[in-house]
Amino acid sequence: MANLNRLGPVPPSSLSLSTTTLPVRDRLPVWREVFGQTMVRLDIEPVKGTSFHAEGELRMLPGAAFAAVTTTPVKVSRTQHLIAGDMADMAFVVTADVPLHIAQNGREQVLDAGDAMILRGNERSVIQSRDRAKFINISVPIDDLTPMLANCRDLSMSVVSRQSDVLDLLLGYVRLLQARQNPLPDELGRVAAGHIRDLMAAMIGPEPDSGPPAWERGGVRAARLRAIKADIGRHFCEPGLSIDAIAMRHSVTPRYVRKLFQEEQTTFSDFVLFLRLERSQQLLRGPAQSISTIASIAHACGFNDLSYFNRTFRRRYGITPTDFRNGAPI
C-alpha cells in the first residue's frame, strides 16, 4: 500500500525497486525491508512453494500517494507495529488484475479482478494473491476525505466495481502521472493530489448537501476531460465524429462535454479542428503523401468540404495548403 507518513508538504518523489538484479537469496529480505516496511509499510511473505520476484514504483505527492507493483503470489499484511509507526490515518484504494483475498477488521472477502476495495490504514489488514498479480494502490489521508463523505461512514472493505466510471477515471489519472518522467513541481503536485482526492471522494460517494457534487469537483472534471480528449485523439479523423457520440461513450451529456471545454476557454469543435489541421500539416509535408491530392489529404483528416479546409487552414496558418506543401513557411 502506498503510504504517507506525515501530512505536511513533502517534495514530490518517485521510488522504484526491482528484484531482477538481486541474487535469489536476497530478493525477499531486500524487498521486505526496503519496499515493504520502509516504503509502503507492509509485511510481505511469498506463497509457500513459489520463487519470489517483484518490481514496483511508489510516487508521493503532497497529500496523496500511489504505488504500482507486479509480484509473484504473495501475502501482504499491515500489522499493528507498522500502523503504530504512521502519523496519519489513511484511506487506501486497492485493485489488481487477479482476484485477491482481503481481510480487515474481522471481515473477509474475495475481491474480483479489476474491482477495487477501500481499506482503512489504521486497521490491521491482510491481502493475498494466489497468482502473479499487478497491484495498484492509491492512498490519501482520511482527514482530507471526510469533509466530502457522509458522516460516520465505515469505509473499510467497501467494494467499487470495475464498471465504475469514476474508478476508471481515477486509475487513468494515476497512470497519466506514472507516465511522467520528471517529478511534478510542488504546486502542481498539490493540484494533482487534490484531483486524486476529488476522484476518490466521487467514487466513494459525497455527503448529502455538502456543496458541489463530487463529479463537479476539479479532479473529476480534469480526469474526465483528459479521457474525452484521448478519445477524440483516437477518432478525430472520422468525418462523422460528433459531441453526441463522445458524450454517449463517456456516459455524460453533450452539455457536460461543452462545459468541460468551456472551462479551458475553448470548444469541442475548436479542439477537433485543431487536431485535424495539425494532422493535415504533417501529411502535406510528409514524403509518403507527395503524390496525394490536397483533397484526399483533407478527407483523410476528417474534412468533408475542401473549401472549408482551405479556409480554416489559411485562417490558422496564414498561408494556403498548396503554398505550405510547396515549402512556404508558416
What strand order describes the sheet that includes 133-141?
13-18, 54-61, 64-71, 133-141, 90-96, 116-120, 158-160
Give per-residue pLDDT as tens, 150-194: 555 667 888 999 988 889 999 999 998 888 878 788 888 888 999
pLDDT greater at residue 13 or residue 235: 235
Residue-range domain boundaries for the chain: 13-221, 270-325
Give the model confidence (pLDDT) of 243-290 as tens digits: 999 988 888 888 889 988 988 889 999 999 999 999 999 888 877 656
Whose grid coordinates read 521510488?
15
**Predicted local confidence at residue 165, as pLDDT:** 86
Residue 5 confidence (pLDDT): 44
Mean pLDDT of 234-238: 92
Q: What pTM was computed for the model?
A: 0.67
- What's the whole-number mean pLDDT along residues 103-128? 92
Tell me what pLDDT residue 7 has. Answer: 37
- For residue 317, what pLDDT is reported? 92
Q: 5-9, 182-186, 292-296: lowest mean pLDDT where?
A: 5-9
Across the chain, what does the average pLDDT equal? 85
Per-residue pLDDT at 42 exceeds 90: no
Which pLDDT belongs to residue 125?
A: 93
pLDDT at 208 over 50: no
Q: Would you state the pLDDT for residue 212?
A: 45
* Percent of the chain predicted with pLDDT > 90: 45
Interatomic CA distance for residues 278 and 40, integer angstroms: 44
Look at residue 213 and tell me whether its pLDDT is greater than 80.
no
Residue 37 CA to residue 54 CA, distance in Å, equals 15
Average pLDDT over residues 72-90: 85
- Among 1.20.140.10, 1.10.3720.10, 2.40.30.170, 2.60.120.10, what is the CATH number of 13-221? 2.60.120.10
Per-position DSSP letters for 92-161, written without gaps between them: EEEEESS-EEEEETTEEEEEPTT-EEEEETTS-EEEE-SS-EEEEEEEEEHHHHGGGS-TT---TTEEE-
The CATH number that domain 270-325 falls under is 1.10.10
Least confident of 102-116, 127-141, 254-268, 277-291: 277-291
pLDDT at 201: 85
The residues pairing with 64 across neighbouring beta strands, listed in sequence order, are: 61
182 vs 31 pLDDT, higher one: 31
Distance (Å, whole) CA 226 – CA 279: 20
